[in-house]
Amino acid sequence: MKQFRLTIILLLLAAAAGAQEVNFYPTNWWLGMNNPRVQVMLHSKDIGKGDITMAEYAGVQLEKVHKAENPNYVFLDLLITGAAKPGNLSFTVKQGKNSRTLQYPIGARRKGNGKDYAKGVTSEDLVYLLIPDRFSNGDPSNDKIPGLLDQTLNRDSIYHRHGGDLKGIIKHLDYLQDLGVTALWLLPVWQNNMPDRTEHGYAITNHYRVEPRLGTNEDYLALSNELHNRGMKLVQDVIYNHTGLFHFFVQDKPMKDWLHEWPAYTQTNYKDQILFDPYASTTDRKKLLDGWFTPMMPDLNQGNPFVANFLIQHAIWSVEQFGVDGWRIDTYIYNDLDFMNRCNKALLDEYPQISIFGETWVHGVPNQAYFTANNLGDVPFKSNLPATTDFQQLFYGIQETLTKPFGWTDGVNKLYTTTAQDYMYRDPMKQVIFLDNHDLARFYSVIGEDTAKYKIALSWLLTFRGVPQLYYGNENLMTGFTNPDGWVRLDFKGGWPGDKENKFTSAGRTAKENEIFNHLRSLAQFRRQSSAIKTGKLMQFVPEDGVYVYFRYDGNQTIMCVMNTNTTEKTIETGRYSERTNGFKKGLDIPTGKTYELNGKLTLSPMSMLVLNLGV
């Protein structure tokens, strides 16, 4: 009898061990969404070979069950009406004589949409971009996770993981807030279970699990909550175009057309012009949109409605689950643009105040304007993307200003001309301006580590139109060129226990670093209270003899920005700017605290910039 019972127990244990885990994507959903429908993907071995039914639940209907080509997937179309209440939906999966019950949670939505979260990142903010793996290590216990493909941990290598994480970021929010930062943009936080370097986060292998070497979903929520408690905001980085090669739905595709696949590996041609070129070939267009970003990043087929739903729902789930305020879209130009319009609209329908900006690494204001809400008139495609990362103000604006001598079309004239083309944008104040990022050479290196030029660049960044974005380490003179990219993704010194230098403190910074830090901080803190800079108008004057003057102004305040790009002292006649200076006799320079008289002449130091608060 005992032997019989032991046999039964072993059989039950074997059956339990053989039962495959069922994963839901999205992992949960909410009541009261603007769109009452959600499509839930179930992934488990042979789940599609069984029959799935849903127990009766007031206010919720199972409208359709989609069996995928791959029996390891099933898609459920749910309608969640206003009559539903929070709880667990109960699904029964029957396979032959066997059946099992699955629970799917639906809950109440967050309160404070547009006020406490999904607030939007605007021209009133100062955004700080960082790489979680390279900023600070707050939890050494997650530096290596057993079972993941990449087990490297070596801070001496730019190619390996370094151990930075979400708890490390939380630890240094006081530092960021003191600097004047109001919004935090992290490179993607989702799992990147790839065999090679993915400290950047752009090779997602699970959209619903935070990269465990960065922390947990709970840690991400804790970061969001801490930011919001401080009146700060969270920007999430998202990739619609591609995913990691080792994503579960790449290794085990739900359908044959889940990805864009070719007879032989085909990479995108990276040529954005094809999309608006009246003479472009169909072949080139297909290669741009359907080619893979890299061999390790397969291209998702957004024309497949199940792929489209998966991506859109992940966006909405992220905002609702974690209280995201801003949305940055990677590699925007390589996506199917009709899909992107649909995706942007779906997000804005649920969260009207959220900000969305896309990476458009293109050349030329018309090229960039094509991909955002614009005033271009009759063009082949009209985008609803609210804003882009403004590569034009970087490449053909401030970078030209500080690396080329003044000329009829060169030097600071490039900045003036580029800005004059703002008429192409529906709302240029939503454009995100920056000096560098994780894919670009550090700006301090680009200008030959010239601190005078760097002060001009920072003063421009914090006073110009648009949403200013810093890259971690801008404030303490981090350097590096992109050959390879790792040199612009070095660790923030002081973020790891035992670091010999600590750039989070004034004592750990050099005199030159503190000079730049204090210059930036004074501008950033002033900016937080300046209505003219945050939301005022911009007026620029044609540069003369290497001197460029622009104003930020509203009914309460006027800020005069005077940029001398010469290596010699210059004196300007203030009367030329009387359109904006009339009634003002003096101005206080924000970075230095020095007062300047506006009595007809203004003498400018070589390679310098004044930020004058007029009338103070």
Cβ-count burial of 144 within 10 angstroms (0-12 exposed, 13-18 middle, 19+ buried)?
middle
pLDDT (0 to 100) of residue 20: 77
Is the confidence at residue 171, as pLDDT, over 70? yes
Decide whether 19-107 matches 539-614 in CATH topology.
yes
Active site residue 330: yes
Residue 165 has pLDDT above 70, yes or no: yes
- Residue 6: Cβ within 10 Å count: 10
pLDDT, position 9: 33
Measuring CA to CA, which residue among 281, 133, 303 is closest to residue 210?
133
pLDDT above 50: residue 6: no
The Cα–Cα gap between 504 and 521 comes to 13
pLDDT number for residue 19? 54
Choosing from 150, 219, 359, 436, the catalytic residue is 359
pLDDT at 14: 35
Q: Would you place residue 330 in the very low, low, confident or very high pLDDT band (cuts 50, 70, 90)?
A: very high
> Helix, strand, coil % (nearest 5) of the chain?
30, 25, 45
**Residue 10, pLDDT above cutoff 60:** no
Residue at 73: amino acid letter: Y
Q: What is the pLDDT of residues 88-103, one digit of tens each?
A: 999 999 988 899 999 9
Model pLDDT, residue 95: 87
Least Cα distance to 391 among 441, 448, 435 occurs for 435
Give the CATH fold of the 127-392+424-533 domain: TIM Barrel (3.20.20)
* Domain range list for the chain: 19-107, 127-392+424-533, 539-614
pLDDT digits (tens, 9 = 90+) for 355-371: 999 999 999 999 999 99
Say yes or no to pLDDT of 16 above 90.
no
- Does the annotation count 475 as an active-site position? no
pLDDT 10s digits, 404-436 = 999 999 999 999 999 999 999 999 999 999 999
Contacts (Cβ under 8 Å, ≥6 apart) of 240: 300, 302, 311, 329, 330, 335, 339, 340, 343
Fold entry, domain 19-107:
Immunoglobulin-like (2.60.40)
Residue with tokens 């293109």: 362
Please determine, for residue 499, whether its predicted confidence score (pLDDT) is greater than 90.
Answer: yes
Instruction: Tell me the average pLDDT of the chain.
Output: 95
Q: Which residue has the tokens 């069950």?
A: 65
* CA–CA gap between residue 27 and residue 38 (Å, rounded): 12
Contact 258, 298 (CB under 8 A): no
Does residue 350 carry a pLDDT above 90? yes
> Residue 271 CB: number of other CB atoms within 10 A?
15
Beta-carbon count within 10 A of 158 CB: 19
Residue from 351, 355, 341 nearest 302 by CA: 341
- Answer yes or no: is pLDDT of 1 > 50: no
Catalytic site residue from 133, 139, 199, 330: 330
Percent of the chain with pLDDT over 90: 95
What are 557-571's pLDDT values in tens digits?
999 999 999 999 999
Q: What does the DSSP 8-state code read for residue 20?
A: P
The predicted-structure confidence for 189-241, as pLDDT tens digits, reads as follows 999 999 998 999 999 999 999 999 999 999 999 999 999 999 999 999 999 99
How far lies 344's CA from each of 6, 59, 289, 330, in Å? 58, 28, 18, 13
Residue 616: pLDDT band (50, 70, 90) is low
Class of domain 539-614: mainly beta
Evaluate if pTM is beyond 0.85. yes
Mean pLDDT of 595-607: 96
Predicted confidence (pLDDT) at residue 4 exceeds the cutoff of 60: no
14-18, 130-134, 262-266, 352-356: least confidently modelled range: 14-18
Residue 468 has pLDDT above 50, yes or no: yes
